[in-house]
């Protein structure tokens, strides 16, 4: 059974309350970052733009519901990175995703890319925490609007009918590996509408309930590459492209769980079918 | 060769348009919607051509084609323009020609530039007609469409806007009788959107394609590129069509010749995007490179193209 409280309405109520709380304060009081920094990082010091992480984002998004973001961490830092938190400041739930890296993420140059929804012009921040407990951040400003309330799917029937399908691809390195370990790239695609709970069905005057992939685990031959806790900011059909340390032909294995309790699994060994 | 000739001519056309724009800026009233030009493209079949522009307060949402067909017993309206004002101007153009009742208001798909004028027809008490998926598509987008387009159109042009969804729905095919002529409505599979409806006036063999056909104005993809290409192939074979009315473009164009450019554009995107996917590259890469050979062939290319590529990529990567 679905909970009686509609998460969409709750979210909107929270936004509305936040908007009202801010409206009477002086300029710059609408800067959401101090609150996010306090709530998510307990006001710890964060080194900014120190070269430990970079973020590629379009300055102006063509489609606010599908904004590609790519994060890169140089090898010298990558081996010590525990987590990467992706924040879209002005989204209703600003923490878009939290990635935890495992051993199979490798010690080479690290790349991780995904697609997000952006609801209004916003700073997008990528924050890493290294094993020494230090935080490092890079920030990009993206012009986009309406990404969270944009109707899911160009073809709603297709979106629901194919839910849970998965595609996993691995790519041969563009140049033969010169470093050890052998770093490769893989792509994980999961068919899921990732309903935000902010998409209203005006026939029923109800919000389509939130239904998202909230937890994904990606392994190589049983060893963790990364796991991610995602929120409503991850685009429909969650898509992750990343580097990992290859080990022979060990397959990529993916387990994804959604808010309805469904579990989807896939492995790169299936790709011949 | 032919291509560069076309672009040279387009360049001239653009200059001419620019000159007109400058002139009309000098005399703002020259830009107003009155008189609302409609052309009789076949006996009893009238079409108004929208501007090749995005919504602005100045164009009041008059950026898409709208038409009407006068039969013995009444009138069918096909798309209503992008604001209550455009809808009212269309209604006035109808009333300048006939006092017959407006029996049907048909929407070819969900986009605001085709449905926002519906409200102007409400007092005429027509039956609103659409694809069976149109009510759901509008419902899912209504709030966003209203918010975004209020901003784009400005308060004046937007005033009185309410989205009116169809009550007579077309599951597959439906014939509407206007007395001495019959309209054949066909619900299409996902192509430009997931709720495209075509309208054929059997008497004059005039087919209203809505945004399944763009001429001069770059196509906009909000459905399925594979579905759209498949549908064009299928429509090309039909022999019951004398002329078609695009959703954006001249009021009447020959069939199937007029679809060649659109088919080439969509094919180009599909091929380029598939190549990018095959090479293991990303959606950003595709948005930077795919389909750029089409750049000079279309108006509003920068406004729509990269987004079309993004949509095509998100679809084709699942092939």
Mean pLDDT calculated for residue range A253-263:
95
Q: Do B287 and A241 touch (CB under 8 A)?
A: no
CATH numbers and ranges of domains, chain A = 37-272 (2.60.40.2470)
Task: Compute the nearest-CA separation of A169 from chain B (Å).
Answer: 9
Q: Do B140 and A156 touch (CB under 8 A)?
A: yes
Residue B225 lies in a domain: yes
Task: Compute the nearest-CA separation of A117 from chain B (Å).
Answer: 14
| Domains contained in chain B, number | 2
Task: Compute the nearest-CA separation of A155 from chain B (Å).
Answer: 6
**Same domain membership, residue B52 and residue B8:** no
Contacts of B318 in chain A (CB under 8 A): 162, 165, 167, 189, 191, 237
**Same domain membership, residue B208 and residue B90:** yes
pTM of the model: 0.86
Residue A198: its pLDDT value, please? 77
**Same domain membership, residue B57 and residue B185:** yes
Instruction: pLDDT band for A204, please (50, 70, 90 cuts).
Output: low
Q: Which of residues 173-192 of B touch A (CB under 8 A)?
A: 190
Residue B12 lies in a domain: yes
Length of chain A in terms of residues written: 273
**Same domain membership, residue B198 and residue B229:** yes
**Same domain membership, residue B87 and residue B13:** no
Residue B265 lies in a domain: no
Contacts of B280 in chain A (CB under 8 A): 169, 171, 185, 187
In this structure, what is the dihedral angle of CA atoms B186, B187, B193, B194, given to the nearest 10 degrees?
-170
Nearest residue in chain B measured CA to CA from A120: B148
Domain that holds residue B24: 1-31
Of B251, B267, B291, the last residue of a domain is: B251
Residue A152: its pLDDT value, please? 63
Nearest residue in chain B measured CA to CA from A199: B140
**Same domain membership, residue B233 and residue B107:** yes
Residue B226 lies in a domain: yes
Residue A196: its pLDDT value, please? 84
**Same domain membership, residue B61 and residue B26:** no
Over the stretch B243-296, which tens digit does the pLDDT of each residue have? 999 999 999 999 999 999 999 999 999 999 999 999 999 999 999 999 999 999
Tell me the pLDDT of chain B (319 aa) as tens digits: 233 333 444 444 454 554 444 444 444 444 444 569 999 999 999 999 999 999 999 999 999 999 999 999 999 999 999 999 999 999 999 999 999 999 999 999 999 999 999 999 999 999 999 999 999 899 888 888 998 899 999 999 999 999 999 999 999 999 999 999 999 999 999 999 999 999 999 999 999 999 999 999 999 999 999 999 999 999 999 999 999 999 999 999 999 999 999 999 999 999 999 999 999 999 999 999 999 999 999 999 999 999 999 999 999 999 9
Of B200, B231, B251, the last residue of a domain is: B251
**Same domain membership, residue B202 and residue B75:** yes
SS3 sequence of chain A? CCCCCCHHHHHHHHHHHHHHHHHCCCCCCCCCHHHHHHHHHCCCCEEECCCCCEEECCCECCCCCCEEEEEEECHHHHCCEEEEEEEECCCCCCEEEEEEECHHHCCCCEEEEEEECCCCCEEEEEEEEECCCCEEEEEEEEECCCCCCCCCCCCHHHHHHCCCCEEEEEECCCCCCCCCCCEEEEEEEECCCCECCCCEECCCCEECCCECEEEEEEEECCEEEEEEEECCCECCCCEEEEEEECCCCCCEEEEEEECCCCEEEEEHHHHHC
Of B235, B251, B267, the last residue of a domain is: B251
Residue B245 lies in a domain: yes
Residue (of A221, A236, A48) closest to A148 by Cα position: A236
Over the stretch A110-151, which tens digit does the pLDDT of each residue have? 999 999 999 889 999 999 999 999 999 999 999 998 887 776
Work out the mean pLDDT of chain A and round it to a whole number: 85
Instruction: pLDDT band for A175, please (50, 70, 90 cuts).
Output: low
Residue B297 lies in a domain: no
**Same domain membership, residue B2 and residue B124:** no
Residue B30: its pLDDT value, please? 40
Check residues A57 and B144 and name the one with the higher pLDDT.
Answer: A57
A13 shares contact with chain B (CB less than 8 Å): no
Mean pLDDT calculated for residue range A204-222:
87
Check residues A208 and B74 and name the one with the higher pLDDT.
Answer: B74
Residue B288 lies in a domain: no
Q: Do B317 and A68 touch (CB under 8 A)?
A: no
Residue A25: its pLDDT value, please? 39
Residue B87 lies in a domain: yes
Cis preceding linkage at B256, omega within 30: yes
Q: Do B311 and A167 touch (CB under 8 A)?
A: no
User: Does residue A235 surpass a pLDDT of 90?
Assistant: yes
Check residues A130 and A19 and name the one with the higher pLDDT.
Answer: A130
**Same domain membership, residue B44 and residue B20:** no
**Same domain membership, residue B85 and residue B8:** no
């Amino acid at each position: 059974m679905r909970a009686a409280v509609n998460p969409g309405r709750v979210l909107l109520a929270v936004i509305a309350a936040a908007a009202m709380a801010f409206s009477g304060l002086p300029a710059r009081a609408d800067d959401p970052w101090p609150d996010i920094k306090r709530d998510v990082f307990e006001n710890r010091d964060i080194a900014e733009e120190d070269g430990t992480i970079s973020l590629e984002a379009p300055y102006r998004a063509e489609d606010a519901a599908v904004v590609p973001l790519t994060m890169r961490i140089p090898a010298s830092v990558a081996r010590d990175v525990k987590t990467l938190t992706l924040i879209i400041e002005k989204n209703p739930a600003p923490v878009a995703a939290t990635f935890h890296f495992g051993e199979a993420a490798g010690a080479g140059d690290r790349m991780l890319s995904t697609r997000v929804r952006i609801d209004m012009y916003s700073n997008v921040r990528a924050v890493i925490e290294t094993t020494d407990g230090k935080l490092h951040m890079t920030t990009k400003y993206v012009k986009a609007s309406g990404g969270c309330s944009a109707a899911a799917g160009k073809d709603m029937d297709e979106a629901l009918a194919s839910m849970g399908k998965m595609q996993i691809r691995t790519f041969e390195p563009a140049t033969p590996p010169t470093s050890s370990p052998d770093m490769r790239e893989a792509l994980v695609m999961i068919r899921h509408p990732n309903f935000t709970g902010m998409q209203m069905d005006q026939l029923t005057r109800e919000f389509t309930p939130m239904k998202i992939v909230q937890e994904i685990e990606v392994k190589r031959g049983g060893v963790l590459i990364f796991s991610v806790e995602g929120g409503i900011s991850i685009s429909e059909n969650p898509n992750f492209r990343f580097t990992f340390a290859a080990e022979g032909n060990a397959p990529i294995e993916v387990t994804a769980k959604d808010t309805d309790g469904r579990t989807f699994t896939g492995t790169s060994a299936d790709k011949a079918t | 060769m032919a291509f560069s000739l076309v672009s040279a001519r387009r360049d001239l056309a653009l200059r001419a348009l620019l000159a007109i724009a400058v002139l009309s800026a000098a005399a703002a009233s020259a830009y107003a919607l009155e008189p609302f030009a409609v052309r009789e493209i076949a006996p009893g079949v009238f079409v108004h051509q929208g501007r090749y522009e995005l919504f602005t307060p100045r164009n009041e949402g008059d950026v898409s084609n709208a038409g009407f067909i006068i039969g013995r017993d009444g009138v069918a309206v096909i798309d209503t323009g992008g604001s209550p004002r455009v809808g009212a101007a269309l209604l006035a153009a109808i009333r300048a020609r006939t006092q017959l009742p407006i029996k049907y208001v048909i929407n070819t798909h969900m986009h605001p530039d085709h449905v926002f004028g519906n409200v102007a027809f409400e007092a005429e008490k027509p039956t609103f007609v659409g694809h069976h998926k149109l009510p759901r598509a509008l419902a899912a987008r209504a709030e966003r469409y209203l918010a975004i387009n209020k901003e784009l159109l400005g308060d004046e042009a937007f005033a009185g806007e309410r989205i009116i969804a169809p009550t007579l729905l077309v599951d597959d095919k439906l014939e509407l009788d206007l007395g001495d002529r019959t309209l054949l409505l066909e619900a299409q599979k996902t192509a430009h959107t997931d709720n495209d409806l075509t309208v054929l006036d059997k008497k004059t063999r005039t087919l209203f394609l809505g945004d399944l056909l763009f001429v001069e104005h770059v196509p906009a993809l909000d459905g399925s590129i594979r579905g759209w290409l498949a549908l064009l192939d299928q429509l090309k074979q039909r022999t019951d069509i004398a002329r078609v009315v695009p959703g954006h473009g001249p009021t009447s164009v020959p069939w199937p010749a007029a679809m060649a450019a659109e088919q080439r554009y969509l094919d180009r995107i599909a091929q380029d995007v598939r190549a990018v996917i095959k090479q293991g590259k990303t959606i950003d890469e595709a948005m930077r490179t795919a389909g750029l050979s089409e750049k000079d062939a279309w108006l509003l290319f920068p406004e729509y193209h990269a987004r079309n590529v993004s949509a095509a990529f998100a679809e084709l990567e699942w092939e």
